[in-house]
Structure 1
Amino acid sequence: MAESPRWEPPMTNASAVPPSLDNEYRTARVAEVLSDFRTLQYYIAAAPVDPQDTADYYTEGWAALRQCSLDGQHILECAADTSVPSAAGGEEEQHKAELKQVLLDAYARRHEGQKIYLRQAAAQRWVAYRQQTLAAGRSASKTESQLRACDAQLRMELAAITDEVIYNELQTSDINMGRWTAEDPSLRTKQREDGEYETNNNNTTITNTTTTNNNDDYTSQY
């Protein structure tokens, strides 16, 4: 898949006023979250979407991978709503309000990107398990049974991807890296922002969690 265009946040109009220390923290925090989101963009764009065997095109894992690709494009194409009302207290307070709104937008995109990444990871594990099963040369009935089990495992992993776990996982990662998180949006605030970025991953909206397996490479990119 061709590399997706990179989303860029709008610039805030506060260059005439030197930012306070808090605004420096806010600016740095926005940069960190955007860096995470861009890393996720890279992995999302690199995931496969079409099987080598066209007979597998409509199987569950490949359908999930194609949906993830569409969802990745969706969060890039959604325009950022970073408008804020005029803040009392002058340009520095206005800059603060703008930075907090940009952070909320970036935070919601990163969260949704992490969900897409984990769904892709689960689907790619499904591809690997399916290939191993088909290559094993077992009887037709045994192979069919194992393929059904593979599908059931994929559905279980996708259903386990919930908002709360992703939020806590990313928050813990940020704290462990020593990042400033004092003004990060709450989960509830992030969920209100998610309306713009809602995706169509099988009956889930903005639901995120780690998948239940032992492959740490698929847990998080941060």
Structure 2
Amino acid sequence: MSDGLNDARAMRVAEIMTDFRNLQHYLVQLRAAPTAEEYYLEGYSLLRQCTTDAQAILQAPFGGSSGSGSGDPEQEKHQLRTIITDAAVRRFQCQRAYLLANAGLRWMNSRNSVLRGQKPNAGHLGALQQADATLRNASFLPSITDAYVESTLRSQDAAQGKWLNEDPSLAQIQHILMSRR
């Protein structure tokens, strides 16, 4: 027996996919032009990894079966739930990459403000080490946990009054991601 929520489910798919598209759009626009000497620095490596992750998320196959539009409300319910789960997992992955990319961009901006177009020299060493330490330890990277990523998404959705009843839990998302490895 249909529960009458398929329209809400379809709307939720559209909302999640819009968020996913916006995150992907941001991630593909990341541009950093390190010199050969800077290429392997942690912040630039992080930015490259975020871009690579975004591309991999797009290339991953759909996590469910594609059903035919038979018009059966129960089949539609199952299909929409599957799509919500797959889309939510992808959005979660993109949100994590987005948060990491922001940390990498802050590092890059700190580095650029220290160097001001000059080549690194001994006079810059302390400030550059501080920027590296901020990226690595004291600041943002350690706080980007799965729980934090999920919390940012759920808080944003709740603040916008979105229907979250069938969004997957963090444990479900983690289980799906582990099974894909």
User: What's the TM-score once normalised by structure 1's chain length?
Assistant: 0.72
Q: Which residue of 2 aligns with 1:121?
A: 102
Q: What is the CA-CA distance between 1:35 and the residue it aligns to?
A: 0.5
Q: What do residues 21-61 of structure 1 show as CA deviations (whole Å, max 9, x unaligned)? A: 3000000001100000000010000001432x332111111
Q: 1:31 aligns with which of 14, 17, 22?
A: 14
Q: Is the 8 A contact 1:78 1:196 kept in 2?
A: no
Whole-Å separation in 2 of the counterparts to 1:122 and 1:168:
18
Q: 1:173 aligns with which of 156, 159, 162?
A: 156
Q: What do residues 50-87 of structure 1 show as CA deviations (whole Å, max 9, x unaligned)? A: 32x332111111111111111111101110121299xx
Q: 1:55 aligns with which of 19, 37, 62?
A: 37
Compute the RMSD of aligned alpha carbons.
Answer: 2.4
Whole-Å separation in 2 of the counterparts to 1:37 and 1:154:
25
Q: Which residue of 2 aligns with 1:109?
A: 90
Whole-Å separation in 1 of the counterparts to 2:78 and 2:117:
59
Q: What is the CA-CA distance between 1:159 and the residue it aligns to?
A: 2.2
Q: Which runs of 4+ in 1 moved over 3 A?
A: 139-142, 195-198
Summarize the Cα distance change of 1:129–1:22 in structure 2 as closer, same or farther, 3 Å threshold.
same
| Alignment gaps of 5+ in structure 2 | none
Q: Which residue of 1 aligns with 2:130?
A: 149
Whole-Å separation in 1 of the counterparts to 2:10 and 2:143:
34
Q: What is the CA-CA distance between 1:98 and the residue it aligns to?
A: 1.1
Whole-Å separation in 1 of the counterparts to 2:55 and 2:178:
16
Q: Which residue of 2 aligns with 1:91?
A: 72
Q: Which residue of 2 aligns with 1:68?
A: 50
The answer to which structure has the higher helix fraction is 2
2:47 counterpart SS class: helix
Q: What is the CA-CA distance between 1:131 and the residue it aligns to?
A: 1.1
Q: What is the CA-CA distance between 1:136 and the residue it aligns to?
A: 9.2
| Alignment gaps of 5+ in structure 1 | 1-18, 199-222
Q: What is the CA-CA distance between 1:124 and the residue it aligns to?
A: 0.8
User: What's the TM-score once normalised by structure 2's chain length?
Assistant: 0.87
Summarize the Cα distance change of 1:107–1:182 in structure 2 as closer, same or farther, 3 Å threshold.
same
Matched residues, percent identical? 36
